[in-house]
């Protein structure tokens, strides 16, 4: 079947490439080629492909129990929630199946908190330009990007967006008595791998504390070890009131979670929220297995070490190709190369060389390798990126000469 007569919605601009299997940081396509995977399903395959501990968790759970309704106890979900609370600021967890649902749960939790405290007028959620929070009707309103809102009817009310870096506007809305929460990604992923300075995060925490506005972090992409911390906000020495998590937490199995302090979650009483699939035994078994690995005391030090190495190698790449790359950004293993030539061409050239990398806003090439990568794999990836950069540069030089 060709692309045009596919029975699928045409919502994705898919590359003409399909994969059959994966192992660690590598994927094999259906036509037998090997690819080094430095996008990891957009930060989802945190432990790479076919990690033995996750494979074992899926197999043994599949033989026991897949799904029960949330009207019953789910012991593995209790255990996962306890472990997440033990490892973070949180006291309560609500499980979802995706990032957008985790953000939706976070938004509902924030509004419901103020409602329960007798301030039902506090509904406004303040976000920052360049944000990405998902594709549901509420999360496209939160993200505020016209390209995702267009044609889908009235934008859900109650969201206010300030320009990235406009501290005055942020301050203004935090002081407003109808503001419920500020919602931000500590490092904007889709938006172009833009990390908020740690001072800005600290300041935001302080201002929210002064006015009773809740601080909600979207760590769907930055969480579960991606930045070298279990969660990105730890680098700033702050804690949020509510946090959305997904992507890496399932290691490739759909799992999301909304974490909150007991206080922030106090409005979410029986009947206020629910999900048929959220927190099902399969998902809980896999996410517990992911935590087994990520919470090992050697894991995050490994991420920090290999991330430092990748960052250093990318610095060399930017220096060698000043006509292709403007700068490098990001932190840990969420890194970006701001391109001077179209990022789509660099991504396509990398793929032809056997390296998978993602795009991001602001003409950025985004690197999100599995957290288990080795220095040898970093060297291999940078070699392939060099070849891709040389190829794109040559193509543009030829065009310029013609
Ligand atoms: C991917 C992402 C989402 C949406 O997650 P889905 O699982 O696609 O719904 C939300 N926020 C951030 C920061 C993301 O990177």
Comparing C-alpha atoms, which of 402, 294, 320 is closest to residue 51? 294
Can you name the residues that pair with 365 across neighbouring β-strands? 337, 359
189-214 pLDDT, tens digit each: 999 999 999 999 999 999 999 999 99
C-alpha of residue 258 to centroid of ligand 1, in Å: 13
What does residue 303 show for φ and ψ, rounded to 5 degrees?
A: -60, -45
- The answer to whether 196 is a known catalytic residue is no
C-alpha of residue 134 to centroid of ligand 1, in Å: 5
Comparing C-alpha atoms, which of 389, 326, 321 is closest to residue 355? 389
C-alpha of residue 142 to centroid of ligand 1, in Å: 12
pLDDT at site 400: 82
Closest ligand 1 atom number to CA of residue 254: 7
Which listed residue (218, 231, 321, 325) is catalytic? 218
Which listed residue (132, 159, 231, 253) is catalytic? 132
Whole-prediction pTM value? 0.97
Residue 206 neighbours by CB distance under 10 Å = 10
At 329 the three-state DSSP class reads strand
Which residues have C-beta within 8 Å of that of residue 226, sequence separation ≥ 6?
A: 43, 46, 232, 248, 303, 332, 333, 334, 368, 371
- The answer to whether 319 is a known catalytic residue is no
Which listed residue (231, 247, 253, 338) is catalytic? 247
pLDDT under 50: residue ranges of the chain = 1
Domains of the chain: 53-294 (3.40.640.10), 297-364 (3.90.1150.10)
pLDDT at site 1: 46
pLDDT at site 4: 58
Q: Between the CA of residue 137 and those of 43, 124, 144, 214, 247, what are the distances in Å?
A: 23, 16, 11, 22, 20
- The answer to whether 147 is a known catalytic residue is no
C-alpha of residue 32 to centroid of ligand 1, in Å: 31
Pocket of ligand 1 (CB under 6 A): 98-100, 103, 132-134, 185, 189, 218, 220-221, 246-247
């Amino acid at each position: 079947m060709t692309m045009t007569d596919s029975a699928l919605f045409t919502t994705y601009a898919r590359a003409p490439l399909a994969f059959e299997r994966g192992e660690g940081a590598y994927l094999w396509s259906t036509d037998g080629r090997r690819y080094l995977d430095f996008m990891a399903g957009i930060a989802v395959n945190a432990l790479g492909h076919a990690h033995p501990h996750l494979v074992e968790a899926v197999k043994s759970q599949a033989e026991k129990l897949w799904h029960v309704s949330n009207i019953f106890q789910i012991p593995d979900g209790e255990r996962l929630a306890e472990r997440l609370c033990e490892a973070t600021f949180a006291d309560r967890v609500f499980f979802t199946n995706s990032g957008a649902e985790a953000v939706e749960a976070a938004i509902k939790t924030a509004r419901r908190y103020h409602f329960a405290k007798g301030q039902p007028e506090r509904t406004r959620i303040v976000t920052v330009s360049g944000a990405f929070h998902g594709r549901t009707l509420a999360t496209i309103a939160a993200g505020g990007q016209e390209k995702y809102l267009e044609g889908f009817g009235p934008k859900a009310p109650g969201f206010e967006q300030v320009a990235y870096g406009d501290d005055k506007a942020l301050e203004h809305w935090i002081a407003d008595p109808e503001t419920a929460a500020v919602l931000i990604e500590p490092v904007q992923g889709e938006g172009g791998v833009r990390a908020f300075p740690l001072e800005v995060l600290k300041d935001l925490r302080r201002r929210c504390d002064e006015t009773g506005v809740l601080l909600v972090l979207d760590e769907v992409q930055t969480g579960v070890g991606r930045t070298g911390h279990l969660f990105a906000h730890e680098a700033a020495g702050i804690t949020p009131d509510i946090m959305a998590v997904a992507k890496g937490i399932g290691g490739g199995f759909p799992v999301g979670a909304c974490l909150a302090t007991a206080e922030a979650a106090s409005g979410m009483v029986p009947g206020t929220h629910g999900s048929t699939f959220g927190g099902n035994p399969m998902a809980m078994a896999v996410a517990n297995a992911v935590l087994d690995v990520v919470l090992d005391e050697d894991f995050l030090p490994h991420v920090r070490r290999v991330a430092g190495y990748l960052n250093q190698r990318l610095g060399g790449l930017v220096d060698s190709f000043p006509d292709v790359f403007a700068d490098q950004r990001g932190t840990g293993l969420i890194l970006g190369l701001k391109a001077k030539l179209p990022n789509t061409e660099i991504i396509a050239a990398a793929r032809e060389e056997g390296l998978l990398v993602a795009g991001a806003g602001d003409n950025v090439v985004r690197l999100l390798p599995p957290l288990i990568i080795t220095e040898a794999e970093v060297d291999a990836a940078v070699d392939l990126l060099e070849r891709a950069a040389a190829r794109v540069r040559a193509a543009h030089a030829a065009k310029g000469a013609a």
